[in-house]
Structure 1
Amino acid sequence: MTRCTPRQSARMYSMVRFVACASLGTASPGCLAGTPLAYFLHSAGPASGPVRVLDWALAALCVGVCIVIAVLLYAAIRRKRRESASPDAAPSQTSVADERDERDERTANRIIAIGTAISAVLLLGALVGMLRVLAAVADPPSAPALAVTVTAYDWWWKVTYRTPDGASFATANEIHMPTGQPVRVDLQSADVVHAFWVPALAGKTQAIPGQTNHQWLQADQPGVWRGQCTQFCGPQHAHMAMEVVAQPPDDFAHWLDAQAKAAAPAPDGAPTRGEKLFMARCAGCHTVRGTQADGAQGPDLTHLASRRLIAAGTIANTPANRLEWVAHAQQLKPESLMPDIALTPAEASDLSAWLDTLQ
Structure 2
Amino acid sequence: MSTLFLTACSDWQSALHAHGDNARKIFDLIWTFGAVAATTWLLTVLVLAMALFRSRPPEARSPLQIDPDQERRLNCAVGSATALTVVVLIALTTGSFFAGKSIASMSGSETVTVRVTGHQWWWEIRYPKIGSLQAIVTANELHVPVGESVKVKLDSLDVIHSFWVPSLAGKRDLIPGRPSELTLIADKPGVYRGQCAEFCGYQHAHMAITVVAESREAFDAWRSRQDANAVTPSGDEERRGQAAFLGTGCALCHAIRGTPASGTVGPDLTHVAGRRSLAADALAMTPGALAAWVADPQSVKPGAKMPRIALSADDLNAVITYLGSLE
Q: TM-score, normalised by structure 2?
A: 0.88
1:188-267 matched pairs, under 5 angstroms: 188-267=155-234
Q: 1:131 & 1:318 partners in 2: Cα distance?
A: 45
SS for the counterpart of 2:105 is coil
Bigger Cα displacement from structure 2, 149-158 vs 339-348: 339-348
Shift of 1:141: 7.2
Q: 2:35 & 2:297 partners in 1: Cα distance?
A: 43
Could you say which residue in structure 1 is the equivalent of 2:249? 281
Could you say which residue in structure 2 is the equivalent of 1:299? 267
Match of 2:287 among 319, 332, 339: 319
Query: Which has more radius of gyration?
Result: 1
Shift of the 283–74 alpha-carbon distance from structure 1 to 2, 3 Å rule, reads farther
Aligned partners of 2:138 and 2:269 also within 8 Å = yes
Could you say which residue in structure 1 is the equivalent of 2:32? 57
Aligned partners of 2:161 and 2:173 also within 8 Å = yes
Could you say which residue in structure 1 is the equivalent of 2:296? 328
Aligned partners of 2:107 and 2:183 also within 8 Å = no
RMSD: 2.7
Match of 2:144 among 177, 196, 202: 177
Match of 2:19 among 24, 28, 44: 44
Aligned partners of 1:192 and 1:209 also within 8 Å = yes
Bigger Cα displacement from structure 2, 54-63 vs 304-313: 54-63
Q: 1:201 & 1:33 partners in 2: Cα distance?
A: 14
SS for the counterpart of 2:251 is coil
Q: 1:94 & 1:247 partners in 2: Cα distance?
A: 75
Note the alpha carbon deviations across 1:35-82, whole angstroms, 9 max, x for none. x55x22211112221111112211222233334444556667x589x7
Shift of the 316–70 alpha-carbon distance from structure 1 to 2, 3 Å rule, reads farther
Aligned partners of 1:163 and 1:260 also within 8 Å = no
Shift of 1:342: 4.4
SS for the counterpart of 2:238 is helix
Shift of 1:109: 3.0
Could you say which residue in structure 2 is the equivalent of 1:145? 111
SS for the counterpart of 1:221 is coil
2:84 partner amino acid: I
Q: 1:327 & 1:103 partners in 2: Cα distance?
A: 81
Shift of the 87–141 alpha-carbon distance from structure 1 to 2, 3 Å rule, reads closer
Q: 2:90 & 2:62 partners in 1: Cα distance?
A: 45
Aligned partners of 1:323 and 1:348 also within 8 Å = yes
Higher relative contact order (CA 8 A, sep 6+): 2
Q: Would you say how many aligned residue pairs link Structure 1 and Structure 2?
A: 320
Could you say which residue in structure 2 is the equivalent of 1:13? none
Structure 2: tracts of 5 or more residues without a match? none
Q: Does 1:162 align with 2:128?
A: yes
Could you say which residue in structure 1 is the equivalent of 2:319? 351
Note the alpha carbon deviations across 1:155-207, whole angstroms, 9 max, x for none. 11110002322631100011111112111111111111111111111111111
Q: 1:335 & 1:288 partners in 2: Cα distance?
A: 24
Q: 2:45 & 2:318 partners in 1: Cα distance?
A: 65
1:86-125 matched pairs, under 5 angstroms: 86=57, 88=59, 94=62, 98-99=65-66, 105-125=71-91
Q: 1:87 & 1:135 partners in 2: Cα distance?
A: 55
Shift of 1:87: 6.7
More helix by share: 1
Note the alpha carbon deviations across 1:98-155, whole angstroms, 9 max, x for none. 245x665544433322221111111111111112211211133762111111111111
Q: 1:210 & 1:298 partners in 2: Cα distance?
A: 20
Structure 1: tracts of 5 or more residues without a match? 1-23
Quote the sequence identity (%).
36
